[in-house]
Structure 1
Amino acid sequence: MSLFRFYSPPAIRKRGLRSAILAGLGRGAHSWLALLVMKGLNAALTAVSNFVLAYVLIRTVGLESYAFIAGLLAVAALVVQCDLGIAVLTFSELRSHYLSEAQKRKANQDDNDLVLAIVTIYSAIAAIAVATLGVAFFAGIVPVAHHSIAYFLIFAGAVCPLPHMPLRMAINARDGFVWTESVELARRVAILAVTIAMLFGLSLVAYSTLSLLIWVTSIAALVWLARPHGFALQSGVFLEGLLFLRRKFREARAAVVLSSAKFVISIFPYYLLSATGDGLAIVAFDMFYKVSRFAMMTYLIGAETVLPHQTRALHNKNAFGLGRATAAGFLLGLLPMTLGIVAVSMFGERIFGTILNHSGIVSPTMRTALCAMLVFMLIQTTCAFVLVGAGKFEALARRASITLAGMALISALMLLFHWSIDTFIVAYVCVYGAGALLYAECLYSLSRSLWLKSSQAFKMGTVQKI
């Protein structure tokens, strides 16, 4: 055997080396540790990039232009919100098909049609939004004295996540989590490098052009990755995908309600507090929001890392495997939650005072409420990912709607009785916490049902391991 290896032709040795490399890459692509590392790096880069972008833009184009860009990004966020949870529903559907079909290499035609339809619709929405902004600039409806081309390109890049999302979901549904995170990592590193380059003379137009090009390249990379993961997007039938969505209207409606409710719950205090005219209250809530959003991003590292194992356990009706994976995700979230609580409770006054250049805006009561919020967010994030993987959109939509109704009630009470910002935040956290417990109750019901099915399957000798 050794002589054969020694005298084997170079082509055979080359093919053997390539096969070994591909096999190694394949094992890495299914490694939970690789996924955890990738998600951790992406979360860290996201946090760094947000602060670096603000730092750089303020120093290169000024505070006024930065404020305009922030407004554009807020509008782009509303455009991206047009997804309304359809991408998550698509993931649940495609993941179920993938696991049910014994992990066939090629996706069926219905799945191809569905992905093509959603990507086409979202690309059209993004293009219409960009064209509308261009017309508004050209007609003077949105007056811009300087940087109009740069603003236009920045907005175009900011709506790229819309067609980007369903592509990621489709590839992830077929165990491509590590590959999509790799694309995300490359994109974030490239955009961070371009952002920093502005400090060394790169113009705003060049920055916006390169950022848009990076986004387009990222989408192209996902389209390329879709083929080895079973999708031939160019051969899909658009109308067939629309018909499928129509057949799934009930679940799609629940996904829309869930996504919309979660979005409103997270941002409505900005608009409510703006109506009161209390500028300090808005600044205080902005700090509350930013810390809680950053916490959510760190919780997603653990939740998304164990998601492939949870969906496999759900498919195999393996209650023990589901519990083990969910517990692992929760434990991964405990570390950032604990660090966040310690930082806010012990050093919050100094941290917020330094950021805002004023002390006392974020009161001790609000900091205590923020600590409770970090706990409730971990509970809700952990439960929500399992339930979405199980396709429990209607159950989640009902609970999110109940939480939203509670938020509407405390908003009315605030306006009626002129609550202080501290009282409102405490009420906000209490309602959010009640919603998180409703999610936990739903997960408990699912787990209990799965344990009963698992016990019956075990007696029949049909339990499968993850």
Structure 2
Amino acid sequence: MTLGSDDALVSGEATAAPRAGENRRHIRTATPSRLVRLSSGPLGLVALKGANSALTAVTNFVLAYVLVRSIGLESYAVIASLLAVAALVVQSDLGITGLTFFKLRSHYLAGSAASAASPDDQDLVVTIVTLYIAVGLAAVLVLGLALAAGVVQVGIYALPYLLVFAGAVCALPRMVLRVVINARDGFVWTEVVDLVRRSALLAATLAMLPGLSFTSYSAISLVIWMGAIGALLWLARIHGFALRPGALRNGVRLLRAEIRGVGATVLLSLVDFFIGVFPYYLLAASRDAAAVVTFDMFYKVTRFAVMSYLIGAESVLPQQTRAMHDADAAGLIGATAKGIMIGLLPMSAGIIAIAVFGEQIFGVILNHAGIISPVMRIAICAMFVFLLVQTTCQIVLIGIGKFEALARRSCLTFAVMVVISTLMVLFDWTTDRFIVAYVIVYGAGSLLYARALYVVVRALREANELDKRAERP
């Protein structure tokens, strides 16, 4: 990770007049503080998150619409399967980004807001980003060798498939760069980068309609992803993170120390990942392309719901983490309620759209009628409700470091998921029946997350009551 240093900004200027040098130093120190002040506006953050959520949904479904018509349903199912593999690569993060945000945010709120991050924090970030870039490159190399050797048979689209996969694994270093910047109140700036990236990807997707080839689109999308990572590296630098001599050596030492204590984080990350995507692998094993495409639509629509709920959940996260730091139970409750209220808007709109117009929407996207059944559409609507509960609770619980409580609940949910998967295989369940069971189990798990947040709030209230009693004469 090449973040650069302040010295690089003034190389070749050592002979300038002292007053000019002072002015330049003033500009360098003032710029980050101005950026931080600008990035603290809650309305701007909500607006940007809303725009990003809308762009994500439009891009995903426009891409499905275009690809189904340009390369066919079978090839689109291959892309969906490759992206599931890319998600597995991204999951090699093992929850480290969540822990990194918690630690960096805690250090920032504890009093380092006016200065750069500590040297140890900077070295840890440099090391994690470097490792994630290496993991992504290794995954692309492995897939490339498998395609070249004919181990993975994908026909004429081998190169664009590889480029699409490479773009997808770019999400791995992007994850940690986002949380690093957000930990120091850079929420708005990471959303701006995402807005530009998503707008560019949508433009490239639409360009396939008048004739842009699938290969060209794949190459352009990879360039867009790499540009976004470059922008995040620059933002990390101006938010107090720089590459220092010996950073990797010290960062590896720090990372080893962290990993010894992140069992719950790793477990939570892995279990949440498999809960979300294991149906891809289960249905792909049946060699039923229609079943894979059906779940792909279910997954894309529900992930869009999550993106919509993150508008509220992440917009109030700065307030929630500050309230937790100040042991302010009322502040934590109030901020969480705001996040839920914001999330109710996309939830209601999504339920109406799927319940009333779902048949037409999916028919147009997939160019085939009847693939998404009425039962599946009802399951999607129920999932919207459960995801609002879980997303709202999970974001704040991760932000305040409650990894063990979340891991226990996720493991219980996944254990039941294994049971319903076994029943599907033994009794030859239809895709619809399996998805209905999946949604019911997921809904029960979301209530466990709500219970965990309630326990945190109750503990804060009890602590506040004890403080009040201690202050009485």
**TM band (smaller chain):** 0.7 to 0.9
Deviations, residues 87-131 of structure 1 (Å, cap 9, x unaligned)? 111111111111112524210111111111111111111111122
The answer to whether the 8 Å contact 2:89/2:136 transfers is yes
Match among 191, 197, 203 for residue 181 of structure 1: 191
Matched to 1:180, the amino acid is T
Give 1:189 deviation, angstroms: 1.4
Q: What do residues 293-317 of structure 1 show as CA deviations (whole Å, max 9, x unaligned)?
A: 2211211111111111111111111
Does residue 299 (structure 1) correspond to residue 329 (structure 2)? The answer is no
Q: Give, as a single letter, the amino acid of the residue that structure 2 aligns with 1:227.
A: R
C-alpha separation in 1, matches of 2:206 and 2:287: 36
Q: Which moved more, 1:210-219 or 1:103-112?
A: 210-219
- 3-state SS, counterpart of residue 415 of structure 1: helix
Q: State the identity as a percent.
A: 58
Structure 1 distance, partners of 2:290, 2:159, is: 34
Per-residue deviation, residues 32-86 of structure 1 (Å, max 9, x unmatched): 1111111111111111111222334455556665555444433322221211211
Could you tell me how far 1:403 is from its partner in structure 2? 0.4
- Greater shift, 370-379 or 176-185, is seen at 370-379
Q: Provide the secondary structure at the position in 2 that maps to 1:233.
A: coil
2:16 aligned residue: none
Q: Given the alignment, which residue of 234, 244, 252 partners 2:262?
A: 252
Partner of residue 29, structure 1: 39
Going from structure 1 to structure 2, the CA distance change for 1:95 and 1:429 (only over 3 Å counts) comes to same
**Conserved 8 A contact 2:108-2:184:** yes
1:308 aligns with 2:344: no
Q: CA RMSD in A?
A: 3.2
Answer yes or no: is the 8 Å Cα contact 1:92–1:389 preserved in 2. Answer: yes
- 1:288 has 2:295 as partner: no
Decide whether the 8 Å contact of 2:36 with 2:186 is kept in 1. no
Flag the structure with more relative contact order, 1 or 2, with Cα contacts below 8 A and sequence separation at least 6. Answer: 2
Q: Which of 140, 144, 151 pairs up with 1:141?
A: 151
Q: In the aligned structure 2, how far is the partner of 1:132 from the partner of 1:425?
A: 32
Residues 1:168 and 2:197 are matched in the alignment: no
User: Are residues 329 and 62 of structure 1, via their aligned partners in 2, closer, same or farther at CA, if it must alter by over 3 Å?
Assistant: same
Out of 40-49 and 356-365, give the one that drifted further: 356-365
Distance 2:321 2:102 in 1: 9
The answer to whether the aligner puts 1:343 opposite 2:353 as a matched pair is: yes
- The corresponding residue for 1:130 is 140
Q: How does 1:89-108 map to 2 (within 5 A)?
A: 89-108=99-118
The answer for the alignment partner of 2:232 in structure 1 is 222
After TM superposition, the structure 1 stretch with the greater mean CA deviation from structure 2, 25-34 or 284-293, is: 284-293
Amino acid at match of 1:34: G
Matched, 1:424 2:434: yes
8 Å contact 2:61–2:365 — kept in the other structure?
A: no
Q: 2:36, 2:185 within 8 Å by CA — same for their partners in 1?
A: no
Residues 133-165 of structure 1 show CA distances to partners (whole Å, capped at 9, x for unaligned) of 333344343456545544443332222111111
Displacement of 1:216 after TM fit? 1.8
Q: What is the aligned counterpart of 2:391 among 381, 385, 396?
A: 381
State whether residues 44 and 188 of structure 2, in contact with CA within 8 Å, keep that contact through their aligned partners in structure 1: yes
Letter in 2 for 1:135: L
Q: Which moved more, 1:436-445 or 1:126-135?
A: 126-135
User: TM-score when scaled to structure 2?
Assistant: 0.85
User: Which AA in structure 1 matches 2:224?
Assistant: I
For residues 362 and 195 of structure 1, what CA distance do their matches in structure 2 show? 24
- Taking a change above 3 Å as real, the CA distance of residues 62 and 442 of structure 1, as seen in their structure-2 partners, is closer
Task: Say which of 208, 213, 235 aligns to 1:198.
Answer: 208
Equivalent residue, structure 2, for 1:437: 447
Q: 1:114 aligns with which of 121, 124, 131?
A: 124
TM-score w.r.t. structure 1 length? 0.86
2:378 to 340, 363, 368: 368
Deviation at 1:179, TM superposition (A): 0.6
Contact 2:77 2:293 in 1 (8 A): no
Contact (CA 8 Å) 1:245, 1:252: kept in 2 or not? no
Distance 1:147 1:280 in 2: 20
3-state DSSP of counterpart to 1:248: helix
Judge conservation of contact 1:112–1:236 (CA < 8 Å) in 2: no
Contact 2:204 2:217 (C-alpha < 8 Å) held by counterparts = yes
Deviation readout 1:159-184 (Å, 9 max, x if unpaired)? 21111111111011000000111111
Alignment counterpart, residue 42 of structure 1, candidates 52, 56, 73: 52
Once the two structures are overlaid, the 10-residue window that deviates more, 158-167 or 267-276, is 267-276
Could you tell which deviates more after superposition, 433-442 or 242-251? 242-251
Distance change in 2, residues 1:244/1:53 (3 Å): same
CA distance 1:274–1:143, shift in 2 (3 Å): closer
Aligned residues: 450
Rate the CA distance shift 1:200–1:235 in 2: closer, same or farther, 3 A: farther
Q: Which amino acid in 2 is paired with 1:342?
A: I
- For residue 463 of structure 2, what is the amino acid of its counterpart? K
Give the 3-state SS of the residue equivalent to 1:101 in structure 2: helix
Kindly provide the CA deviation profile for residues 326-347 of structure 1, in whole angstroms up to 9, marking residues without a partner as x: 0000111111112222333344
Structure 1 contact 251–394 (Cα < 8 Å) conserved: no
Moved segments of 4+, more than 6 Å = 16-24
Q: Distance in 1 between matches of 2:357 and 2:216?
A: 40
Could you say what secondary structure the match of 2:117 adopts?
coil
- In the alignment, residue 100 of structure 1 is paired with which amino acid? A
1:55 is matched with 65
Amino acid corresponding to residue 438 of structure 1 in structure 2 = L
1:394 corresponds to which residue?
404
- Residues 317-374 of structure 1 show CA distances to partners (whole Å, capped at 9, x for unaligned) of 1111111110000111111112222333344455445555666654544443333222
Residue identity in the other structure for 1:391: G
